[in-house]
Amino acid sequence: MSASAETAATLPKVRIATTSLAGCFGCHMSFLDIDERILDLMKIAEFDRSPITDIKHCSPCDIALIEGGVCNPENVHVLREMRANAKILVAIGACAITGGLPAMRNCLDVGDILNEVYRDTDGVRAHVPNDPELPLLFDKVYPVNEVVRVDYFIPGCPPSADAIWKYLNDLILGRMPRLDHDLLHYD
């Protein structure tokens, strides 16, 4: 039985917030891939900061899902705001848990990377953007738990919609979240 069937009439709505830091947004796509089950979830949950609401700041919430690694001061600010407002913080996906693919740059010099990225196709160096609106990159990408305390981790790259659904149901119902082996995948 899903959390929505068990709790719709008995508990106040759970507040859920989500955000994406340095990553590909694949974990959010998996979250949205719960498809029509999102309607069941909306019966028992309100969404705070998330792509569903386009709210930019996190208010107090019960569960916060964080995807992506931490690569700049803006990521740190968002992550700390989420941690301060969430009763339960969940790192979701390989990037949040280990730094993932963005962390592959950790053994390289950020200046060299930027110069390579902004080189014109004819090999002439172009101007590396220097605008106050662009956050400066850290020398490395950090997993979420190296910046704030994380309560739970949903592994995967990305985790499947079924894994996210199962995890949320367990959390909402106050159960220890557990994922069977068949719910884990790394594409």
d(CA 164, CA 170): 10
- The ranges of the chain with pLDDT < 70 are 1-11, 51-53, 55, 120-121, 123-125, 186-187
Q: Does 129 fall in a domain?
A: no
Average pLDDT of the residues of the chain: 87
Q: Is residue 113 part of a domain?
A: no
Q: How far is Cα 51 from Cα 103, in angstroms, rounded to an integer?
A: 24
Q: What is the pLDDT of residues 94-133, one digit of tens each?
A: 999 999 999 999 999 998 888 888 876 676 667 788 888 8
Q: Distance between CA 45 and CA 80 in Å, rounded?
A: 23
Domain coverage including residue 97: 3-106+139-174
Which domain CATH number covers 31?
3.40.50.700
Residue 90 forms part of a structural domain: yes
For the chain, the domain total comes to 1
Question: How many residues are recorded in the chain?
Answer: 187
Q: Which of 168, 165, 156, 1 is nearest to 92 (CA)?
A: 156
Q: Taken in order 43, 48, 49, 55, is the CA torsion positive or negative?
A: positive
pTM: 0.86
Q: Could you tell me if residue 14 is inside a domain?
A: yes
